Chains A and B, each alone.
Chain A
Amino acid sequence: MIIVAKIAVIIAALLLSAVVTARLGFFKFGKTILGSLGKKPATLMYPVVPREWEERTRGSVSIDGDNCIACGICANACPTNAIDIDKAEGKWTIQRMQCIQCSACVDGCPKKCLTMENLYTIPDVVKVVDSFDIPKKAPKGAKKDAPADDGDLTCADSCVFCGLCAKACPADAIKVDRKAKLWEVNTEDCVKCGACIDKCPKGSLSFGGAAAPAEDAGDDDGDLTCADSCVFCGLCAKACPADALEVNRKEKLWKVNTEDCIKCGACIDKCPKGSLSFGGAAADAEPAAPAEPPKKSIASVKDGECIGCNACVNQCPEEAIPPVEENEWNLEEDKCIGCGACVDVCPVDAISMKEV
C-alpha cells in the first residue's frame, strides 16, 4: 500500500513538472527531438557509403581523347583558365582544383568529346592536374594543300558567300553577308579548328596566305541546270544554303531561282544522280516536266552483304527502306523513287540500282 502511494506521488510530481514546463512554453521542440531518436540519420557516411548522383550532377570533366581535334575552344571557354592544350605534344591538361564545374567547355566542344561526369575530383593535399592524350595534330589545312597551319584563316576569290562556313564555325568567328559580298574572320575568336574548311563547297578556305586552287568546275558561268535524270528527290533543295531551289516530287517540279542561287555547288555534290551542273545552256529552269522518266530503277541489295548499319534507312528521302533488322534488307518498291542516295551511303557497297 505504501509503495503504491509512493509511486503515485512520484508520478504526480513528474506529471506536474512536465505540465508546468510545457505551460511555460518550453520543450516546443521536444517532440521532434524524441521522434528523431527512432529515425535513421539524415547524413550519409560519405565516402564510405557512396552517394547516388543525379543525371545532371556536375562533378568533373572528362575527355574522349580520340575524337579531340585540339581546336582549343574548351580552353578559351573556360572562365578560370583551367584547361591547357598542347597541340604539338598531343596533350589535353586540366587543373582539377581550378575547374569550377561550370560545364562551359562541354557546351562549347564542337566534337562533343568532352563530358561532365557525376563524380567529383577526389580531395587531395596537392593540386591535382590531369593530363590526357589526344591525337597529335598535323596542320589541319594540309589535306587541302594549304601552305601553312600558322597563318590566319583566309578566303580565296572563289568565295560565293554562301555562309556555310559561318554556320559551321563553333566559335562564331566568321561573318558572311551575301548581299554585301562580305566575308570576314575575327582572328581573335578563330580557334583554327578547320571545321569551316571542311564545309566550304568551293574549297576557298585555307589557313594562311595562298588560296587553295579554285577547282575549275567546268563552265562555271552558266546557271544551274538539272538533267532529265532528275528523280525529284529534293536532296539538292535541302543542301542549298541560299534556299534557291524548289523541288516538288508530286508535280515533278524542279525549279531554281537564279537570282538567289549563289553557285556554291553544294547541291551538285549532293545530287545522287549527278544530274546537276552549271550547264552552259541557260535553259529554261524547268526541265521537261511532262516527260516520263524513261525507266524506273530501284535499289537492290546483294545477298548477304548487308551489315544492318541502317545508313541507307536514314538517308532515303522517301523512307522507302524500313529499318533493317537482323540484316534483312527490304524495300517498299512503290515508294522508291530511284534516286540512288542509298547507294552512295552504303559503307560496304552492297546496294546497286537495277532497272525494272
Chain B
Amino acid sequence: MAKRTIVPFGPQHPVLPEPIHLDLVLEDETVVEAIPSIGYIHRGLEKLCEIKDFEQMVYVVERICGICSFGHGWGACASMEGALGVEIPERAEYLRTILHELGRVHSHLLWLGLMADGFGFESLFNHCWRIRETVLDLFEKNTGGRVVFSICKPGGMRKDISNENLQEMVTVLNGLKAEIKEVTDAFIYDKSVQNRMTGVGVLTKEEAMELCAVGPTVRGSGVRQDIRLTGDHGVYKELDFEPCVEEAGDCMARTVVRIREVFQSIELIEKAVAKIPDGPVDVKVPKKVEGEFAIRLEQPRGEAFYYAKGQGTKFLKRMRVRTPTNINIPALVKMLAGADLADVPILVLTIDPCISCTER
C-alpha cells in the first residue's frame, strides 16, 4: 500500500470561495477518501428570524446567501404568505419569476467564472465575471441592490418595475447572448478545458438518485428533476418550461447544464416580459401570523425548502430553510473518492457549493 497523506483542504483555501473543510486522504495524488466537515460560518439566522417582526425577517433571510439572495427572499415571503393565507397579485408573481431567472443568470455566470478559476483558466474567469457585471447593473437599476435586492415582501413586491425597464432588461440580455456564447464556447469546445472536465467526477443516474442530489448536479446525470416543473411557485407553467438535462454525469455535463440554463433563463425572462399583466404588485397582509406553510423553490443551485410557522403574533415561531448545497454534499463526497488531487477543486466547485447557505 502506498504511503497515505492527509491534506487538510480548507476552510481557508484560496481555491474555495467559501469555508468548507475536507480531509483528503491521499495515496500519491489519488484521493482515497474525503471527510467533509462544516460549521465555520454558522450565523444563527434561523433563530434570528424568531426575535423580529416577520416582515423584517425577509431582509435577514435574503442575507443567507449573496448569490441566490432573491430566491431566499422569495422563499421566505412565499412561506409567510402561505401561512397568512394571502394570494399575491399576478404581476408580482411574474416580477418574482423574472428576477429569479435573472438571478440564475448571474449565479451561473459567477459559477462558470469560479469553475474556470478552479482549473486555472484565469482569463476565462475574468471574462465570465465581466459579463456578470452587466447583469448586476440590471439588478441595481431595477431593484436598487447589486447582490441583495430587498424587493420582495410578504404580500408582493416593494417596488414595481415599469414595463419599459423590463423591456430594456430583455434588450440588454439579448445583447449579452453573443458575449456569453463566446465565453461558454471556450468551456465546451476548448481542448484543454475538455481535458480537465470530460469524464471527471462521474455520477451515474442511479447514484445521483440514491444520494438525493438536486439541481444541475442531478440534471447533469440525466434525471429530469426540477422544482420549477411542479408549478408551486412562479409562473413557469405559463412559460412552457422544460428543464435542461444532460446524460453524461461528469463535470462537463454539469457545466453544460448550467450553460444551457443561462440561455434558457434569458428566454424565460423574455417570455415572461411579453406576458406580464398590468396591475398592482402588492396586497396588504395581516399583522399576525398563524398557521404554517412550507414551499420548495428551484434555486440556481437546486431545490431549496422554506418553512414558516406562526404563533398568532407578529413573531414567527420557526423559520426553517434547507438549501441545495446541504443535500449535494453526499454526492460530492462520492465524486471525490478515487479522484485526482488536481481534480479536487473542480469537483468541489461542480456542485456549486454555497456553504453560507448550508449553515445559515
B230 within 8 A of A: no
Q: Is the CB of B144 within 8 A of A54?
A: yes
Residue A148 is within 8 A (CB to CB) of chain B in the complex: no
Is A346 engaged at the interface, CB distance under 8 Å to the other chain?
no
| Residues of chain B within 8 A of A103, CB atoms compared | 144, 150, 158
Inter-chain contacts of B217 with A (CB < 8 A): none
- Least CB distance from B39 to A in Å reads 24
Interface residues of A in 29-76 (CB under 8 A from B): 29, 31-33, 36, 42, 54-58, 76
Q: Is A102 an interface residue when CB atoms closer than 8 A count as contact?
A: yes
- Judge whether A116 is part of the interface by a CB distance below 8 angstroms: yes
A29 to chain B, nearest CB (A): 4
Q: Produce 1/0 per residue, A311-349, CB < 8 A to B.
A: 000000000000000000000000000000000000000
Using a CB-CB cutoff of 8 Å, which residues 4-40 of chain A contact chain B?
24-29, 31-33, 36
Is A77 in contact with chain B by the CB < 8 A criterion? yes
Q: How far is the CA of A100 from the CA of B130 in the complex (A)?
A: 25
Per the bound structure, the CA–CA distance linking A24 and B141 in Å amounts to 44
Residue A228 lies at the interface, judged by CB distance under 8 Å to chain B: no
The stretch of B51-59, B88-96, B252-260, B266-274 in contact with A is: B51-59
Contacts of B167 in A (CB 8 A): none
> What string of 1s and 0s marks CB contacts (under 8 Å) between A108-151 and chain B?
00000000100000000000000000000000000000000000
Asked whether A100 and B63 contact (CB < 8 A) given A32-B183, A54-B144, the answer is yes
For window 162-188 of chain B, which residues contact chain A by CB distance below 8 Å? 182-183, 185-186
Contact in complex: A56, B123 (CB < 8 Å): no
B56 touches A77 (CB 8 A): yes
Q: Mark B184-220, 1 if CB is under 8 A from A, else 0.
A: 0110011111100000000000000000000000000
Complex Cα spacing A102 to B56, Å: 9
Judge whether A172 is part of the interface by a CB distance below 8 angstroms. yes
Does A107 lie at the interface of the complex (its beta carbon under 8 Å from any beta carbon of B)? yes
Contacts of B127 in A (CB 8 A): 32, 36
Query: Is A93 among interface residues, defined by CB-CB distance under 8 A?
Result: no
Task: Tell me whether A297 is interfacial, beta carbon within 8 Å.
Answer: no
Q: Which residues of B contact A54 (CB under 8 A)?
A: 137, 140-141, 144
Q: Is B265 an interface residue (CB 8 A)?
A: no
Nearest-Cβ distance from residue B186 to partner chain A, whole angstroms: 4
Which residues from B are CB-within-8-Å of A102?
Answer: 56, 59, 148, 150
B52 CB contacts on chain A under 8 angstroms: 79
A203 to chain B, nearest CB (A): 27
CB closest residue in chain B, given A173: B287
A residues 79-107 touching B (CB-CB < 8 Å): 79, 100-104, 107
Cβ contact within 8 Å between A56 and B142: yes
Give chain A nearest CB distance to B287 CB in angstroms: 6
Q: Are B56 and A104 in contact (CB under 8 A)?
A: yes
Closest to A118 in B: B144
Which chain B residues lie closer than 8 Å to A104 at the CB level?
A: 56, 59
User: Residues of B contacting A27 with CB < 8 Å?
Assistant: 190
Q: Do A28 and B186 have beta carbons less than 8 Å apart?
A: yes
Asked whether B145 is an interface residue with its Cβ less than 8 Å from the other chain, the reply is: yes
Asked whether A25 and B189 contact (CB < 8 A) given A54-B141, A54-B144, A102-B150, the answer is yes
Kindly state whether residue B27 has any CB partner on chain A within 8 Å: no
CB pair A116 B144 closer than 8 Å: yes
User: Chain B's nearest CB lies how many Å from the CB of A112?
Assistant: 16
- Across the interface, which residues of A come within 8 angstroms of B185, CB to CB? 28
B124 at the interface (CB under 8 A from A): yes
* Complex CA–CA separation, A57 to B185 (angstroms): 34
- Asked if B148 and A100 make an inter-chain contact with CB atoms under 8 angstroms apart, the answer reads yes
| A183–chain B nearest beta-carbon distance, Å | 17
The answer to whether residues A42 and B141 also contact, given A32-B182, A100-B59, A102-B150 and a CB cut-off of 8 A, is no
Bound Cα distance A283, B140 (Å): 63
Report the Cα distance A101→B145, complex, angstroms.
Answer: 9
Contact check, A101 vs B150: say whether CB atoms are below 8 A apart. yes
A232 CB, min distance to chain B CBs, angstroms: 34
B59 touches A57 (CB 8 A): no
In contact, B56 and A79 (Cβ under 8 angstroms): yes
The answer to whether the Cβ of B322 comes within 8 Å of any Cβ in the partner chain is no
Q: Which chain A residues lie closer than 8 Å to B148 at the CB level? A: 100-102
Q: How far is the CA of A100 from the CA of B60 in the complex (A)?
A: 9
Instruction: Determine if A24 and B191 form an interchain contact, defined as CB atoms under 8 angstroms apart.
Output: yes
Q: Which B residues are in CB contact (< 8 Å) with A36? A: 127
Mark out the residues of chain B between 35 and 64 whose CB falls within 8 Å of any chain A CB in the assembled complex: 52-53, 56-57, 59-60, 63
Would you call A26 and B192 a contact (CB within 8 A)?
A: yes
B334 at the interface (CB under 8 A from A): no
Which residues on the A side are within 8 Å of B192 (C-beta)?
26
Collect the chain B residues with CB atoms within 8 Å of residue A33's CB. Answer: 123
Residue from A26, A58, A100 within 8 A of B144 (CB atoms): A58
Chain B, Cβ-Cβ closest to A29: B186
Within 8 Å CB of A32, what residues of B? 127, 182-183, 186
Is B133's CB within 8 Å of the partner chain A? yes
**Most A C-beta atoms less than 10 A away, residue of B57, B59, B130:** B59
Min distance, Cβ B148 to any Cβ of chain A, angstroms:
7
Closest-by-CB residue of A relative to B123 is A33
Q: Which chain A residue lies CB-closest to B190? A: A28
A residues adjacent to B (C-beta < 8 A): 24-29, 31-33, 36, 42, 54-58, 76-79, 100-104, 107, 116, 172, 189
A-B contact pairs, 24 of them (CB 8 A): A25-B189, A25-B190, A25-B191, A26-B191, A28-B190, A28-B193, A29-B123, A29-B186, A32-B186, A36-B127, A54-B137, A54-B140, A55-B141, A56-B140, A57-B140, A58-B145, A76-B53, A77-B53, A77-B56, A79-B52, A79-B60, A103-B144, A107-B158, A189-B314
Contacts A29-B190, A56-B143 aside, 4 further interface pairs with beta carbons under 8 A come to: A25-B189, A28-B186, A33-B123, A79-B57
Taking Cβ atoms with an 8 Å cutoff, the residues of B that contact A are 52-53, 56-57, 59-60, 63, 121, 123-124, 127, 130, 133, 137, 140-145, 148, 150, 158-159, 182-183, 185-186, 189-194, 287, 314
- 8 tightest CB-CB pairs across the interface, nearest first? A25-B191, A56-B144, A28-B190, A102-B59, A29-B186, A79-B56, A58-B144, A54-B141
